[in-house]
Amino acid sequence: MIKYLTAVETIKTDNLNGFFVGWPTPPSPDKLLEILQNSYKIVLAIDDSTDNVIGFINAISDKTLSAYIPFLEVLPDYQKQGIGSELVKSMLEELQEFYMIDLCCDIELNEFYRKFNFSHANAQIIKNFQNLLK
Ligand SMILES: CC(C)(COP(=O)(O)OP(=O)(O)OC[C@H]1O[C@@H](n2cnc3c(N)ncnc32)[C@H](O)[C@@H]1OP(=O)(O)O)[C@@H](O)C(=O)NCCC(=O)NCCS
């Protein structure tokens, strides 16, 4: 069964393998734990037969008006079972007091996010790939 958690305290790096699929230099499980610990809100999907995290979403925030969702990922073996949708729904509940909730995604995912009332907007981004190696 999949359970959902909004706290990271019980999670160990051993439970955080396999994420950042397709990234040329994927952040390590240690880095992912740091990301989760430093986020404003997180929702984790956990396979309770292994205690492994199999999906996560995080948000950072100014804690006044705006929140940004940098990451959403479900491990390939667990995709298309509604887990990603559950993570987005739970995160939107966590962030319901904010004026702005922003994220960037590939255009293919526009329809996925539209189901949760996100609308398409223009964005400006910088990616310093060398900082992934630190
Ligand atoms: C996007 C993602 C989190 C969805 O997780 P999931 O658990 O499979 O989501 P759900 O089962 O709730 O919904 C599946 C829906 O995702 C959408 N989807 C996922 N990947 C897609 C893609 N590459 N192109 C188009 N739609 C996609 C589809 O609408 C799909 O609907 P369908 O089942 O009717 O085909 C997952 O595919 C993933 O981790 N992808 C890699 C990382 C990523 O792209 N993250 C988003 C960053 S903004």
Percent of residues, the chain, with pLDDT higher than 90: 99
Whether pLDDT at 133 is above 90: no
CATH label of the domain that carries residue 99: 3.40.630.30
Number of domains in the chain: 1
Q: CB of 80 closer than 6 A to ligand 1?
A: yes
Look at the chain and count its residues: 134
pLDDT in tens, 3-14: 999 999 999 999
Distance of CA 103 from the midpoint of ligand 1 (Å): 15
pLDDT bracket for residue 15 (50, 70, 90): very high
Q: CB of 74 closer than 6 A to ligand 1?
A: yes
Kindly report the pTM of this predicted structure: 0.96
Q: Is 60 left (phi over 0), alpha (psi -120 to 50) or beta?
A: beta
Q: CB of 79 closer than 6 A to ligand 1?
A: yes
pLDDT in tens, 69-107: 999 999 999 999 999 999 999 999 999 999 999 999 999
pLDDT in tens, 31-43: 999 999 999 999 9
Residue 51 tokens read as 């205690």
pLDDT for the residue numbered 134? 78
Tell me the C-alpha to C-alpha distance, in Å, between residue 102 and each of 19, 56, 58.
22, 17, 12
Distance of CA 32 from the midpoint of ligand 1 (Å): 20
Q: CB of 66 closer than 6 A to ligand 1?
A: no
Q: Tell me which residue has tokens 């079972």.
A: 81
Write the DSSP symbol of residue 21: T
Distance of CA 79 from the midpoint of ligand 1 (Å): 7
CA distance 92 to 112: 14
Per the structure, the complete domain to which residue 90 belongs is given by: 2-133
Question: Residue 2 in contact with residue 41, Cβ under 8 Å?
Answer: no
Distance of CA 75 from the midpoint of ligand 1 (Å): 10
